[in-house]
Amino acid sequence: MNKNKLAKGIYWVGAVDWDVRDFHGYSTYRGSTYNSFLVIDEKVTLFDTVKHSHMDQLLYNIGKIIDPKEIDYIVVNHVELDHSGSLPKMMEIVQPEKLICSPMGEKALIAHFHREDWPYHIVKSGDEISLGARTVQFLETRMLHWPDSMFSYLQEDGILFTSDAFGQHLASTERFDDELELDEIMQESAKYYANILNLFSPLIRKLLRTIKEMDLDLKIIAPDHGLIWRSHQDKILAAYEKWSNQEHSNRALIIYDSMWHSTEEMAKSISIGLEEEGVPAELINMQVHHRSDVVTKVLDARALILGSPTLNNGILPRMAGLLSYMKGLKPARKLGAAFGSYGWSGEAVAQLNTIMDEMKIERINDGLRLKYVPTEESLDQCREYGRELGRSILASEEGK
């Protein structure tokens, strides 16, 4: 039995990257896969390639099934180099009749590889191509997450190749969602969404509506990273519905950095006040958490309570890095507040407020500042501040 077989004549032939640990600032502690799919029909077709460093794996996996030179068509669903890096060499080896891509895909391929002589075959949403016994239907998914992105749907098999949607950065010898714990896959899917797709949530809502309207006989969702969905398609579609609608739990994240523990002590006291009002709170110290793990938690939180002492008339570098990263991902429907200790100038809280305003986070108040080391009295003030925030968070939920 071929463990890489999706259906009769359809195979995963991609590559597993056990060592990758960073993906544009996103921590990939568990590695990743670069999924590529081979369809054996009258026209043998390869859907996407892999990162250039893993081309040997791709050729080996194809070679176990057919001679790579027998491939007739190559479909490029997404031009980003983790999926197209090995394409130039594959074009030399395979010399396909057609290189199938979206209109924006052609432009991106030429811009990346400077080859106008390749046999481009341009497809748009709704276009179909016969492979023989099978028909491929195409759906452009511009800006999910590049302008060139598209889906390919094998109608007879009910398989949707979704490029960078519905995936996870997760290295594994297993190929399918029913071969690992579902909670584990969903956690990695949430991290993937939060760090790559969250800013495109309005487009994802539109895409999900389009998929429903197409009324596909959807048996398998095959992304370009991670596990293939053959048993829990409903779970990942429902999760994307929730995440794209920016739904959240009624909980707060207290995200902070501290120099000499004063801001840290404030954070702990604020958390007590929140909990006393019935609002679950999680303390996130930026000295021990990676930004990509933090924004994953942000996906499900109602309120972001941000803390930093003042350093050189500004906020600490780790907080600045997190907020720069988070700003690009555009979290929506969040409440926010700031706090921090200072020695003599104390600009950090005002700067945190400005950043929240720029991110369109609804600020509960103007923040709390304490000078130097907190006293018992000032820590009581922090607990009361937490209670105030808790009441505001609960009131916002009641008013929805």
Is 82 assigned a catalytic role? yes
Residue 358's Cβ-count burial label (10 Å; 0-12, 13-18, 19+) is: exposed
Catalytic residue (choose from 11, 26, 34, 78): 78
> How many residues appear in the chain?
400
Angle between helices 317-329 and 291-298 (to 10 degrees): 50
Is 48 assigned a catalytic role? no
What does the alpha-carbon distance between residue 247 and residue 326 come to, in Å, rounded to a whole number? Answer: 17
| Positive/negative CA dihedral, 268, 355, 299, 310 | negative
Spatial neighbors of 85 by CB under 8 A, at least 6 apart, are: 49, 50, 51, 52, 53, 55
Catalytic residue (choose from 80, 179, 347, 362): 80
Nearest to 25 by CA among 258, 259, 329: 329
CA dihedral 163→168→171→177, nearest 10 degrees, is -90
Is 290 assigned a catalytic role? no
Please report, for residues 112, 164, 232, 332, the alpha-carbon distance to residue 238 in angstroms, rounded to integers and kept in the order given.
Answer: 35, 17, 10, 19
Is 225 assigned a catalytic role? yes
Catalytic residue (choose from 17, 41, 48, 82): 82
Instruction: Identify the H or E element spanning 184.
Output: helix 182-192
Catalytic residue (choose from 83, 145, 169, 248): 145
52 upstream amide cis, omega within 30 of 0: no
Catalytic residue (choose from 54, 83, 169, 225): 225
How is 268-334 classified by DSSP, letter by letter? HHHHHHHHHTT--EEEEETTTS-HHHHHHHHTT-SEEEEE---BTTB--HHHHHHHHHHHHH---S-
Catalytic residue (choose from 192, 240, 342, 385): 192
Is 29 assigned a catalytic role? no
Catalytic residue (choose from 164, 177, 188, 265): 164
Is 24 assigned a catalytic role? yes
Active site residues: 24, 78, 80, 82, 145, 164, 192, 225
